[in-house]
């Protein structure tokens, strides 16, 4: 088995940063350098204001010593991409793989341009053998393309072994997920060299993860398993959301439905909380990636099946905004609407694909005055997102960012909760005396979850996409969504999250 002394991770994002921080933490004898093209992102990783909010992240990046925090001695963040590649024995490729916006497959296919650019750079710089690990979520077959790149442009005396090792962490619970994952998946070829490389990668994880949770499969299975996992998770959210519409039409209660069906062990309770729809950077793009793969493989029925998961999600988001408009006499003109929660789910500052952006944009289109608050999403971040959709002038005229939820809610005609942050569903906010809220409509989750009524102590009203149910503490999973809410007085709760 090759010895790993030095690791490089290309891409210091939501996956590369936390994953490598945990690997460095658990393998103190190995130097781990996370590199990125973005100077600002690297500067933030090297400062005390990390570029992403993730519970527990600071503790993994820093080493408490004499009361003051000091960086781990074997974890580095740098923009010297070439230098870090040259020194590394093993390289994680952890760059973004967004949906293509132009060209063949635009709107559905994954753009692997960043993965390819990273591979080319690795091929150009390397003078010693490397194990290349696909950490990014990629279309099935990408490992083969990477091999082609190394064969075409790298020094022929250097050996590259390409492995697939998709990441299953969920934002908001990334550190817990990394510290105790359900499984680590490693895909490789079956040559002796490939199996040895897979063994070296498995050893890194075995520093803290029981061997039986480290699963090795063929490389195609590994690539496809990541897409399959996200598609199945997204499908559960769309399934319960489609049922929420049936509940509204019939008088059934979607939380009761989730609870009742979730008790069936074949179904399970997680990811069954109705919501405004899923968001986050992964679910939509990964489902569309699978749709595109099915189309190119001449499987139109498969493509249609999975596409409907995204269609229901879009429909659910529109439906929610429609309910806000109809709850306020079909006109929002000049009414103040308080929006609490902008992140696509709780415990993250990430707004990528957040349902909040589309919802607020529709409120702006209705000429509402929107007051925003989120505990972790910054003013600049949300204004950038909204400006992209609505233009500068419109955002300036209709949107105010508030530093606390009470200011956002003061004299509002409606209060719309779009992220299931604990602070919105527990203590203070929903128990504010009517003083400030006046005749405000609260578009929020039901105060008492069905699980509590059904006797087990548990989840709070707007827990996220997963448990509407039993004795589990709700745990957000990857890309889980934003809480759906219900118009006060309406028979049943609504949205969840992403």
Q: How many Cα atoms are found within 13 Å in the side-chain-facing hemisphere of 226?
A: 28
Minimum CB separation of residue 81 from ligand NAI in Å reads 5
Minimum CB separation of residue 134 from ligand NAI in Å reads 9
Minimum CB separation of residue 226 from ligand NAI in Å reads 7
How far is the C-alpha of 362 from the C-alpha of 339, rounded, in Å?
Answer: 12
Q: Which is nearer to ligand NAI, 185 or 364 (CB)?
A: 185
Q: Which is nearer to ligand NAI, 399 or 480 (CB)?
A: 480
Residue with CB nearest ligand NAI? 13
Token pair listed for 195: 């199996």
Minimum CB separation of residue 493 from ligand NAI in Å reads 26
Q: Which is nearer to ligand NAI, 70 or 117 (CB)?
A: 117
Residue for token pair 């029981």: 210
Are 421 and 341 a contacting pair, CB within 8 Å? yes
Q: Which is nearer to ligand NAI, 84 or 368 (CB)?
A: 84
User: Is 167 assigned a catalytic role?
Assistant: yes
Backbone angles phi, psi at 286, to 5 degrees: -75, -35
Q: Which residue among the candidates 134, 161, 167, 353 is catalytic per the annotation?
A: 167
How far is the C-alpha of 308 from the C-alpha of 68, rounded, in Å?
Answer: 52
Q: Which residue among the candidates 9, 247, 282, 402 is catalytic per the annotation?
A: 282
Q: Which is nearer to ligand NAI, 134 or 492 (CB)?
A: 134
Minimum CB separation of residue 137 from ligand NAI in Å reads 4
User: Is 199 assigned a catalytic role?
Assistant: no
How far is the C-alpha of 370 from the C-alpha of 242, rounded, in Å?
Answer: 28
Minimum CB separation of residue 229 from ligand NAI in Å reads 10
Minimum CB separation of residue 96 from ligand NAI in Å reads 4
What does the binding site for ligand NAI look like in residue numbers (CB under 6 A)? 10-16, 35-38, 41, 81, 94-97, 114, 117-118, 136-137, 167, 169, 171, 281-282, 478
Are 163 and 187 a contacting pair, CB within 8 Å? yes
Q: Which residue among the candidates 100, 135, 226, 345 is catalytic per the annotation?
A: 226
List, by residue number, the catalytic residues: 167, 226, 282
């Amino acid at each position: 088995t090759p010895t790993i002394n030095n690791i490089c991770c290309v891409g210091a994002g939501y996956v590369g940063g936390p994953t490598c921080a945990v690997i460095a933490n658990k393998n103190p004898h190995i130097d781990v350098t996370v590199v990125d093209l973005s100077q600002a992102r690297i500067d933030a990783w090297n400062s005390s204001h990390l570029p992403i909010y993730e519970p527990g992240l600071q503790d993994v990046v820093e080493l408490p010593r004499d009361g003051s925090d000091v960086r781990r001695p074997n974890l580095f963040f740098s923009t010297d991409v070439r230098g870090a590649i040259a020194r590394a024995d093993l390289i994680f490729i952890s760059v973004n793989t967004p949906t293509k916006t132009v060209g063949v497959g635009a709107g559905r296919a994954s753009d692997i341009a960043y993965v390819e650019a990273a591979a080319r750079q690795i091929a150009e710089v390397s003078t010693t053998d490397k194990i290349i690990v696909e950490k990014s979520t990629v279309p099935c077959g990408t490992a083969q393309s990477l091999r082609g790149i190394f064969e075409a442009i790298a020094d022929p005396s250097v050996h590259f072994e390409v492995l697939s090792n998709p990441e299953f962490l969920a934002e908001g619970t990334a550190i817990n997920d990394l510290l105790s994952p359900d499984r680590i998946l490693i895909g490789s070829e079956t040559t002796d060299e490939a199996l040895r490389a897979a063994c070296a990668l498995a050893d890194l994880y075995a520093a803290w993860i029981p061997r039986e949770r480290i699963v090795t499969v063929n490389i195609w299975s590994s690539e496809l398993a990541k897409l399959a996992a996200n598609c199945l998770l997204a499908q559960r959210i769309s399934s319960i959301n489609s049922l929420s519409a049936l509940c509204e039409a019939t008088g059934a209660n979607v939380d009761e439905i989730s609870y009742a069906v979730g008790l069936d062990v074949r179904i399970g309770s997680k990811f069954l909380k109705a919501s405004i729809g899923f968001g986050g950077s992964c679910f939509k793009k990964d489902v569309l990636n699978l749709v595109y793969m099915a189309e190119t493989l001449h499987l139109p029925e498969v493509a249609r099946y999975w596409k409907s998961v995204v269609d229901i999600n879009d429909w659910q988001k529109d439906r929610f905004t429609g309910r806000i408009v109809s709850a306020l006499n079909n006109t929002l003109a000049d009414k103040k609407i308080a929006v609490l929660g902008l992140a696509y789910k709780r415990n993250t500052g990430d707004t990528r694909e957040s349902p909040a952006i589309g919802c607020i944009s529709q409120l702006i289109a209705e000429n509402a005055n929107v007051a925003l608050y989120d505990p972790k999403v910054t003013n600049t971040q949300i204004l950038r997102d909204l400006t992209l959709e609505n233009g500068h002038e419109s955002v300036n005229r209709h949107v105010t960012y508030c530093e606390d939820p009470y200011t956002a809610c003061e004299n509002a005609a409606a209060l719309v909760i779009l992220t299931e942050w604990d602070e919105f569903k527990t203590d203070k906010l929903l128990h504010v005396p009517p003083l400030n809220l006046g005749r405000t409509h609260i578009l929020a989750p039901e105060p008492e979850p069905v699980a509590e009524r059904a006797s087990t102590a548990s989840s709070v009203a707007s827990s996220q996409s997963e448990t509407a149910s039993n004795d589990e503490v709700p745990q957000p999973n990857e890309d889980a969504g934003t809480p759906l809410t219900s118009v006060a007085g309406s028979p049943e709760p609504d949205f969840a999250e992403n």
